[in-house]
Structure 1
Amino acid sequence: MRNILFVAAFCLLSQFANAQFGASIHQSNLPFVGINYQFKERFLPELRIGTDNYFDNTSLELTFNYIFKKDENVDVYTGLGARVQILDGIVVPLGMNIYPFTKDNFGFQMELAAIVGSSDPLLRGSWGIRYRFAKE
């Protein structure tokens, strides 16, 4: 429920922005929501906030992703980032965004991310939805 409220509030606020902002919800053992800003058609930095946990255990991630394969309906990206709080360390995501509809704002995503740091290395797989707010 908290994820839905977060995305709804972000949708309302983003209507006033003149940029290619986006929001995503990733489902996995370490679920999170993300806010991103795509620029120059290839760069996709994203701030990610851990969900389904106590506020004291909320983790933050910041990833800088590069879209290396882009076609009409699919974006494939990789990147580098950092994670703090729970399971902190370096994050190396490899993912795919799929936009199957004629209006390509709403889509699905899959991601595999290595988290390497102070704890044991972890390989996280996630899937979810992604929404891109249209440029004006």
Structure 2
Amino acid sequence: MKKIFFATILFFGTATASLAQLSVGFHQSNLPFASIGYEINDRLMPELRIGTDVIINNFSPEIVLTYQFLNKPDYELYAGLGYRANTYRGPLLPVGFNFFPFEKKHFGFHLELAPMFVIESTTILRGSWGIRYRFSKD
């Protein structure tokens, strides 16, 4: 757990020096989670995700790195690679869609599908939807 924490600090520290934009979000599903991430150069997004609606001992952090293949002013299509610790431990492959319908592109919605390759068990296909807020510089 300490290794994940220090890797996260290093990862986000590097991101802030690279023209980054902070965002926070919430994904609703059977395995809901809150997220905080940095959008680097409008394409790359490292993200720390923490499981919610669980006992504190099972909060299950995830580290995810996504790339926005399609980056338009109103929407983004992304895919990436990540790892989940604690409950349902193993790698995951998120693919998703962000949509920003308002004039100021701070608040938006997202949909995500992520196969989770659970080490102790079998593969889980997690679908989620939620909200995202970007703290942009404008």
Instruction: Specify the TM-score bucket, using the shorter chain as the normaliser.
Output: 0.7 to 0.9
Partner residue of 1:42? 43
Q: Unaligned stretches of 5+ in structure 1?
A: 1-16
> Is the 8 Å Cα contact of residues 75 and 97 (structure 2) preserved in structure 1?
yes
Partner residue of 1:129? 131
Distance in 2 separating the partners of 1:133 and 1:85: 30
Partner residue of 1:102? 103
* 1:61 aligned onto 2:62: yes
TM superposition shift of 1:19: 4.5
Name the SS for the 1:38 alignment partner.
strand
- Deviations, residues 76-106 of structure 1 (Å, cap 9, x unaligned): 0000010000001001000000000000000
Name the SS for the 2:93 alignment partner.
strand
Distance in 1 separating the partners of 2:21 and 2:36: 11
TM superposition shift of 1:75: 0.3
TM superposition shift of 1:72: 2.0
Partner residue of 1:32? 33
Name the SS for the 2:57 alignment partner.
helix
TM superposition shift of 1:70: 1.1
* 1:120 aligned onto 2:122: yes
One-letter amino acid of the structure 2 residue matched with residue 35 of structure 1: I
> Aligned pairs, how many?
120
Distance in 2 separating the partners of 1:103 and 1:127: 21
Root-mean-square deviation (CA), in Å? 1.4
Once the two structures are overlaid, the 10-residue window that deviates more, 28-37 or 17-26, is 17-26
Partner residue of 2:52? 51
| Shift >4 Å, 4+ stretches | none
Partner residue of 1:22? 23
- Deviations, residues 19-58 of structure 1 (Å, cap 9, x unaligned): 4100000000000000000011100111000000100111
Q: Unaligned stretches of 5+ in structure 2?
A: 1-15
